[in-house]
């Protein structure tokens, strides 16, 4: 009888310990998500600024934050896909500013990062999707994709 009670107590306390750990893990995950979301929303806000230099700084800062693998990104957003979006935005900004060398750099960075993301998807062997993400082969395609993705977004610097 005492042995059964001891087993029950050990099992019960182990279960309680697992529940506490799961709860702590959930809180940690929520905290990491909130950290990512805060940085993302700040970058979105700055990207929509009427001041292109604020937009550029906000996007570049968020890009650097995401590149640092110590910062949370996954599983909410793919790190590569997030970097692709920031590189594409920096391409547009640099192009708008007439900084052709930097625009060219960010065009290639965005294409390469998207290709890396697509290669990763292939390794997952996911079922075919109705609208798979296609690679980008021209600057016009990149501009069009960003325009579709940002439809409805009030980007102030683009209005000037």
Tens-binned pLDDT, residue by residue, of the chain (160 aa): 545 544 444 444 444 433 443 445 677 788 888 999 999 999 999 999 999 999 999 999 999 999 999 998 877 678 999 999 999 999 999 999 999 999 999 999 999 999 999 888 878 766 666 656 889 999 999 999 999 999 999 999 998 7
Q: Is 154 left (phi over 0), alpha (psi -120 to 50) or beta?
A: beta
Between vectors from CA 132 to CA 127 and to CA 137, what angle results, nearest 5°?
Answer: 140
Please state whether the peptide bond connecting residue 25 to the residue before it is cis, i.e. omega within 30 degrees of 0: no
pLDDT of 160 reads 74
Between vectors from CA 26 to CA 24 and to CA 27, what angle results, nearest 5°?
Answer: 65
**Global pTM value:** 0.80
pLDDT of 14 reads 44
Judge whether 76 and 39 are in contact, CB under 8 Å: no
pLDDT of 128 reads 66
pLDDT of 77 reads 79
pLDDT of 48 reads 97
* Distance, C-alpha 95 to centroid of its chain: 23
Could you say which DSSP state residue 69 is in? T
pLDDT of 49 reads 97
pLDDT of 16 reads 44
pLDDT of 27 reads 79
């Amino acid at each position: 009888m005492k042995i059964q009670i001891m087993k029950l107590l050990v099992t019960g306390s182990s279960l309680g310990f697992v529940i506490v750990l799961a709860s702590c893990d959930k809180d940690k995950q929520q905290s990491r998500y909130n950290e990512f979301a805060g940085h993302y929303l700040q970058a979105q806000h700055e990207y929509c600024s009427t001041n292109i230099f604020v937009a550029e700084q906000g996007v570049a800062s968020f890009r650097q934050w995401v590149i640092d693998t110590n910062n949370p990104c996954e599983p909410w957003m793919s790190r590569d896909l997030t970097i692709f979006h920031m590189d594409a935005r920096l391409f547009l900004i640099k192009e708008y500013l007439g900084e052709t060398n930097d625009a060219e750099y960010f065009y290639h960075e965005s294409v390469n990062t998207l290709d890396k993301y697509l290669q990763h998807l292939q390794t997952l062997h996911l079922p075919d999707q109705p609208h798979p993400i296609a690679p980008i082969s021209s600057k016009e395609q990149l501009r069009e994709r960003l325009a579709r993705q940002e439809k409805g977004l009030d980007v102030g610097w683009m209005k000037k």
